[in-house]
A and B are shown apart, each in its own frame.
Chain A
Amino acid sequence: MTIPGAKQTSVGALVIALLIILPLIVNSGFALTVMSQTGIAIIFALAFNMLLGQGGMLSFGHAVYFGLAGYVTAHVMNGMANEDLPYMPVSLIPLVGGVAGLFFGILIGFVSTRRAGTAFAMISLGFAELATGLTLIIIFFFNGEEGVQTDRWVREEWFGITYGPDIQVYYLIAVWCVIAAIAMYLLTRTPFGRMSNAVRDNPERVQFIGYNTHRVRWLAFSLSSFFAGLAGALHAVNVEHVGFETVGLGQSAVILIMVYIGGTGHFAGPILGAILITLLNAYLSDISPAWYLYLGLIFVGMVMFAPGGLAGLIMMHDPIRRAAPHLLMRMAPAYAAAFGTSLVALVGCIGLVEMAYFLSTTVSRNTALILYGIALDAADFWPWLVCVALAAAGALGCSRTYPRLAESYGTAMHEARRAVAS
């Protein structure tokens, strides 16, 4: 017998330990910034999934609550610095963002959650455009395209914390990330959380067991906006600036993509997506100008071939792991083969994309390019030949290895079922 919740507790303890020591291991300034961004993205992604995954509401404008809360937070911090507003520790300022998000969520959600499905998605899009418009119109609050500048160093707090050094901000974000994640996880186990799933799966029936579907969706929307606002406040603290792009469609699209790639059907999915996409964005966008193309391709690929996202792919193996873990090892060769052929195809395709991108965007006549650490001339014939050959060989390989992988998975599942049955 295991104690209920013991597994979650030990996973949680492990995560917390990791969050504490991570900045001590990788202590470059850039890495720290990326980790802080990741923490914010995780909160926002989990909040978004309260809508999409738990509640079945696809929003194209959830950054509105993230961004508006960011603006409010920036103004509150500035107000505290000028002593126009009573002081509160910056450690607790995410709550201000949360309340701001909640406020706008309650207000706008009342209207948008009257409808589900496509109508809801369209209304969310409308409000996203509206918010972007307002940032350029209401200058005294949003300050137009310049955005609002702020300073997180308001006063020295407990233990001499000032939020001057980035490492302190990292820990602030880490603490709030853990609190928010736990809170959102616990919410899934409340009557509200269960009915949110019920409304997602069968809104029709929900009405005949006593629930007002609009109320359920509205509550989900409001609570989700609270956490989105919390993330927005941390963003304001982290970068000390809030611009109009934070409420915009771009920001909303990024969070949607993150959550979808991570997987909407499992609580940890958005966390995976947030980590992966933030890391890729931080490290790839510097290396490759074609980063958004890759992001788009990953997204489309996920939607087409793995609609359950990364979490879905991982959880596919859970029945096998539970029934007979050794069966997973037996799948390893098939996985290695599929991985190998994919890698070859990927190297070829990325090479082609990079060279094409380079040729089409370079201003000078300079066609010299460094690809995979090799200096070559994009105008030459042979690099193209090699890349096409790699891509073709990889694709051909994949056409063999993927069916074999599927077959190996099928066999393992079959045996796992037999093991459970016996």
Chain B
Amino acid sequence: MTNAIEFSGVQKSFGNTEVIRGVDLAVEQGEIHAVIGPNGAGKSTLFNLVTGRYHVSRGRIELNGENITNRAPHDIFRKGLSRSFQVTNIFPRMSVFENVRCGVLWNLGYHYSFWHFVNRRRDLRERTESILEQTGLASRRNVPAGLLSYSDQRALEIAVTIAGGASVVLLDEPTSGMSSSETEQAVALIRDISATRTMVIVEHDMGVVFDLADRISVLVYGKVIATGTPEEIRSNAKVQEAYLGTEAA
């Protein structure tokens, strides 16, 4: 089976600084793949490259075997890849319900239609409701997104991301800044979502990572230094030295 995402020799420079220094990485179909690494390692940049937000300087990225290098973000989304943002990135003036509905629109085929009424479409409402239920936001549906609590905003970030029915979902630090009980909820949600999707998550909380991930890649200073199962990563000497060791200290 082709990999869900495949990076081959991907390199990214901002001016003279090389931030991604030749990454080869394969995300398998259906797995939860965690990307870990110290601050500034280039994890978010990797997401920005695969989703078309940044231009790839060199190399090639494939989604389900199809070359998507340097395609426009909306094109890549339409091919079934969706992402959340490390810093919450939603529509603050719209209600929670409307935010999620915006995420649903393209996938249900409404595209740029100006001849359908959004509040008359049953499929739109039902899909939106089910996403709200799944993400635990149903009771907050009418609240303007900008007024939500932090953890609810993070949940909405995920809700908007999965609303479009993407088969591959990238989450950038979904639990950052959350209390332990909120983190627990978020982990349950991510596990629930992953049942039908391939997931890539960037996460600093090692508890979450080792709990959720099928496989882990360690990114240090723009290079993947190891990829493997949680056990392999835990016992990997290079990782110990470069990253996990410092974390434990």
Contacts and interface: CB of A to CB of B under 8 A. Distances in A.
B227 interface: no
21 contacts: A187-B114, A189-B119, A190-B117, A191-B112, A192-B114, A194-B101, A201-B94, A202-B91, A205-B85, A207-B72, A207-B77, A208-B73, A208-B74, A208-B77, A209-B77, A209-B82, A209-B160, A209-B163, A210-B78, A210-B105, A211-B74
Interface in A228-252: none
A216 interface: yes
A266 to B, nearest CB: 13
A198 B90 CA distance: 9
Given A189-B119, A197-B94, A202-B89, A209 B164 contact: yes
A287 interface: no
A215 interface: yes
Given A190-B117, A210-B107, A216-B112, A205 B89 contact: yes
A145 interface: no
A interface majority secondary structure: helix
Contacts of A198: 91, 94, 102
A194 B98 contact: yes
B106 A209 contact: yes
A146 interface: no
Interface in B45-66: 51-53
Interface residues of B, number: 38
A219 B119 CA distance: 21
Interface of A: 4, 186-187, 189-195, 197-198, 201-202, 204-212, 215-216, 219, 223
Contact of A186 (B52, B74, B105, B117): B117
Interface string B93-109: 11000100111011100
Given A190-B114, A191-B111, A192-B113, A201 B51 contact: no
Given A190-B116, A194-B105, A210 B93 contact: no
Nearest to A207: B73
Contacts of B103: 209
Contacts of A191: 105, 110-114, 116, 118
Interface centre among B73, B94, B110, B114 (most CB of A within 10 A): B114
Contact of A212 (B74, B83, B160): B74
B74 A207 contact: yes
B230 interface: no
Contacts of B161: 208
Contacts of A202: 89-92
A223 B105 CA distance: 20
Contact of B118 (A194, A204, A205): A194
A204 B107 CA distance: 18
Contacts of B52: 207
A194 B103 CA distance: 11
Nearest to A219: B112
A194 B85 CA distance: 22
Q: Which of B111, B112, B164 has the most CB of A within 10 A?
A: B112
